[in-house]
Amino acid sequence: MSRRLEINEVSPRDGLQMERNFVPTESKIAFINALSACGFARIEVTSYTSPKAIPTLADAEAVMAGIERAAGVKYTALVPNLRGMERAVGGRPDEINLVMSASETHNRANLRMTRAQSLATLQEVIRAAEGAGLPCNVSLSASFGCPFDGEVDANEVISLASSLADSGAAGITVCDTTGMAYPTQVASLCERLQQAVPGLPLTIHLHNTRGMGLANALAAFDTGIERFDGASGGLGGCPYAPGASGNVSTEELVHMFAAMGHDTGVELDSLIAVVHSMSDLVGRPVFSQLAEAGPRLRRFAPPAWLVEKFPQ
Ligand code: COA
Ligand code: ZN
């Protein structure tokens, strides 16, 4: 049976935060405008983090103010604390994506707070955002493993998700920040989360660091997950997680689900055209296997010698 899926494009945030080169503000805006024409459910535009922590996204205000908004697309931004929420309100996002880590050491490295401090901060942000009419999704980084602490206890992920849901979170995203997840683990956590916070929208955010991105997406899909983060061109990674590398690429996610007959809302040819422009955007070669190969039914004219040898 065909299912309607929501694809969230995170390359402008998760991708550009990790790039060595600062992408000029105007180029970021043009990139996001081109993505807006592809049919995403959401685009994560930027992050309102400390410019010292994430210098490549220091132009968050200008980018948010500069983009053209397409009907049907929700524009969101990553926020780590109250200061970030206050900055975000001025940019009129449709929702914000709060962040903390499921692992203690990654939270300390990435956010300079303990998990308890982050949780209290995010609960305060959710309360404050309610006043501003701003829905808050919460992304739980390192939910499937941590590059410092190793295994992350699924019970702790579930307990954080439940606390945040009780505090008014509009959704939870479970993130495999450094590509440590594997399919049976993904299926188990997704099933348990859907039981723990029934009715709360759940998103899965995968990195392809160890080549299991699409397999994990399929495992999540099979348990009923309908929202997927992806980064066009497979960009992405957390600068405060050693070994982090690209997200599962959006074009591969969309292509896989479309081939299986599901409706992602995303127009693949338009997305592939955007991916072809990304090497210029980031100033280094961006290689996407899918963008290179084209969709599975792309057909090539047979070579001249073949036509000559078999004229019929
Ligand atoms: N936006 C802009 N500036 C911020 C800010 C925000 N959301 N939060 C804090 N700051 C500024 C403070 O004003 C202060 O500035 P000053 O040095 O000029 O006085 C400085 O940052 C330090 O503030 P402090 O509250 O002590 O923050 P910190 O140094 O402990 O850092 C975070 C905490 C959360 C702000 C920082 O670690 C961060 O932005 N992390 C995000 C990491 C990230 O995005 N990772 C990838 C995504 S998962
Ligand atoms: Zn990520």
pLDDT at 312: 82
210 alpha carbon to ligand 2 midpoint, in Å?
Answer: 14
CA dihedral 272, 229, 74, 221 (to 10 degrees): 100
Ligand 1 atom with minimal separation from the 47 CA: 44
- Give helix 183-196 / helix 213-222 axis angle, nearest 10°: 40
Q: Whose CA is nearest to atom 15 of ligand 1?
A: 50
Task: Name the residue type at position 115.
Answer: R
Tell me the best of 19, 49, 98, 114 to mutate to test the pocket of ligand 1, counting ligand atoms within 8 Å of each CB and taking the most. 49
pLDDT at 31: 98
Rounded to two decimals, the pTM is 0.97
239 alpha carbon to ligand 1 midpoint, in Å?
Answer: 14
Mean pLDDT, the chain, integer: 97
Give residues (CB < 6 A) around ligand 1: 17, 47-50, 52-54, 80-81, 83-84, 87, 99, 110-112, 141, 238, 240
The dihedral built from the CA positions of residue 162, 135, 248 and 41, taken in this order, carries a sign that is: positive
Helix (H, G, I), strand (E, B) or coil at 247: strand
* Residue written as token pair 């070669």: 285
Angle CA 178–165–105, to nearest 5:
35
- Closest by CA to 193, choosing from 148, 245, 136, 138, is 138
* Residue written as token pair 């592809």: 38
10 alpha carbon to ligand 1 midpoint, in Å?
Answer: 21
In this structure, are residues 279 and 54 in contact, taking their beta carbons and an 8 Å threshold? no
Reported as a single tens digit per residue, the pLDDT across 3-35 is 999 999 999 999 999 999 999 999 999 999 999
Architecture of domain 6-309 in this structure? Alpha-Beta Barrel (3.20)
d(CA 162, CA 274): 38
For the chain, give every domain's residue range: 6-309
Reported as a single tens digit per residue, the pLDDT across 68-98 is 999 999 999 999 999 999 999 999 999 999 9
